[in-house]
């Protein structure tokens, strides 16, 4: 997906550009070295040493700190934050007055204003108005639009539409196992269906009132609650994890007779490139009671 979408309306003196921003990426240098007794001598090594994108004192490791604005953006997923640069420039030699800038998100089900209407008394020749808008994506689908509207000189107006898709990030599957003791075992399968590996920073089951939850995802013999998934929280592309929980009725809350079949919900937080954050909560997990 191209990261820049330029919409130009030629007849207007001010032009609006919109660019969805993904987190910057770290550029990893290309490492070419050789023995100093090989034909090229020390040339390649010197070039690498001078390469600003290389990692000083360990140049043969491509893990520099040189940031790049990504040329190709990762998808924007449900639960992540839509971040967009709105750039409004006066490209004429005349000052433009009374500018009003407005932005809203248009999804299949709702209109969400995310900017303004914001008024600017004037825009000098070749000057610009720069705004970064943010929006937490709470709805997935393929018909999301950012609509920016500009009014100026109290009579002219135009709008720019930036469309984007919001695919689902994770595939969640749940299974309940009812026991005779009125305990419920819950198995959750989570699969990373994004195009990039992620770090699962948080994956918890928040139980409803009246239930106690015991996470069964730690090694029994370890003293420090070691996760059965090891010490890396990385979930690769297409990788699946299985979590297991035991839910029991909260005895102290017995006075409350409203026993619900809603056991709780999952709260999941992940991060990907350079800390790109995403967070989702599952819909209520409802136990099916076999009658």
Partner 1 sequence: MDRKTPELRPAINEYFKDPSPSSNLFDNISSHATAESKREEPAVCRIFQQIETKKTDIFDIIKPPENNHNNSPAFDVQEPTFLNTGNDNVDLMDIFNHEYELSSIPAEDERRRFAWIPSVKTKNTLEKASQMNHTLPKDMLTMPGVENVNFTTKLYENLVSYLGEAEAAPFKSKNIEKVTQDEQGLKLLIEDNNFSEALNLTTRLLGMYGQGPGQMGYPSKHTKSSLQLWFTRFALLVKICAWKIISKEALAWDDLDRPDLYMQWYKDLYGNKYGTLVPFSFRLILAELPQYVISSTNVYNKLFEILVGVKKIISNLDNGLTEDGRNVELTIQDRNTSKLLWYSREAKVIHSIINCAVNQKDFKLAIKLLKDLIETPRLKYTTEHSRSLLSAMGRICLQVGDLKAHGYFLKSSRLKPQLQGTMVENKADYRELIDAALLAIAQNNYKEAYKHFENAYLMESNKVMVALNNMATCLFYEGQLNNAITLLEDAIQRFPDLALNESLLSNICCFYQFQNSASNKQRLLKYHIISKYKNSVTDVIN
Query: Per CB under 8 A, which of residues 116..145 are in contact with partner 1?
Result: 128, 130-132
**Secondary-structure breakdown of the chain: helix, strand, coil percentages, each rounded to the nearest 5:** 5, 50, 45
Q: Is 221 exposed, middle or buried (0-12, 13-18, 19+ CB in 10 A)?
A: exposed
Tokens 């419920």 identify what position? 184
Structure tokens at 116: 């303004």
What are the beta bridge partners of residue 104?
A: 113, 147
Pick the piece of the chain touching partner 1 (CB under 8 A) from 20-28, 152-160, 166-174, 203-211. 20-28
The SS3 call for residue 46 is: helix
33 binds partner 1 (CB under 8 A): yes
Query: Per CB under 8 A, which of residues 140..179 are in contact with partner 1?
Result: none
229 binds partner 1 (CB under 8 A): no
Asked if 241 and 131 count as a contact pair (C-beta separation under 8 A), the reply is no
Shortest spacing between CB 45 and partner 1, in angstroms: 6
9 binds partner 1 (CB under 8 A): no
270 binds partner 1 (CB under 8 A): yes
108 binds partner 1 (CB under 8 A): no
19 binds partner 1 (CB under 8 A): yes
Identity of the residue, 84 or 285, whose beta carbon is nearer to partner 1 in the bound complex: 84
Shortest spacing between CB 133 and partner 1, in angstroms: 10
Pick the piece of the chain touching partner 1 (CB under 8 A) from 59-67, 103-111, 158-166, 248-256. 59-67
């Amino acid at each position: 997906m191209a990261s820049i979408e330029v919409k130009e309306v030629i007849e207007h003196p001010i032009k609006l550009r919109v660019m969805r921003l993904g987190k910057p990426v770290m550029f990893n240098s290309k490492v070419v070295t050789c023995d100093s007794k090989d034909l090229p001598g020390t040339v390649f090594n010197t070039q690498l040493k001078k390469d600003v994108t290389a990692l000083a004192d360990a140049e043969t490791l491509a893990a520099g700190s040189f940031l790049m604005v990504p040329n190709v953006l990762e998808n924007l997923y449900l639960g992540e934050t839509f971040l967009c640069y709105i750039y409004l420039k006066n490209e004429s030699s005349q000052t433009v007055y009374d500018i009003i800038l407005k932005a809203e998100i248009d999804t299949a089900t709702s209109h969400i204003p995310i900017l303004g209407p914001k008024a600017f008394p004037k825009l000098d020749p070749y000057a610009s108005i720069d705004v970064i808008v943010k929006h937490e994506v709470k709805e997935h689908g393929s018909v999301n639009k950012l609509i920016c509207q500009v009014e100026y000189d109290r009579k002219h107006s135009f709008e720019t539409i930036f469309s984007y898709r919001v695919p689902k990030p994770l595939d969640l599957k749940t299974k309940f196992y009812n026991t005779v003791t009125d305990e419920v075992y819950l198995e959750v399968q989570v699969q990373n269906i994004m195009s990039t590996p992620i770090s699962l920073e948080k994956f918890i089951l928040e139980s409803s009132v009246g239930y106690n939850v015991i996470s069964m995802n730690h090694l029994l013999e370890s003293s420090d609650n070691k996760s059965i998934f090891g010490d890396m929280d990385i979930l690769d592309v297409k990788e699946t994890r299985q979590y297991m929980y035991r839910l029991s009725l909260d005895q102290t809350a017995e006075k409350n007779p409203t026993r619900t079949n809603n056991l709780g919900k999952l709260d999941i937080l992940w991060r990907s490139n350079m800390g790109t954050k995403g967070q989702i909560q599952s819909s209520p997990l409802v136990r099916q009671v076999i009658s």
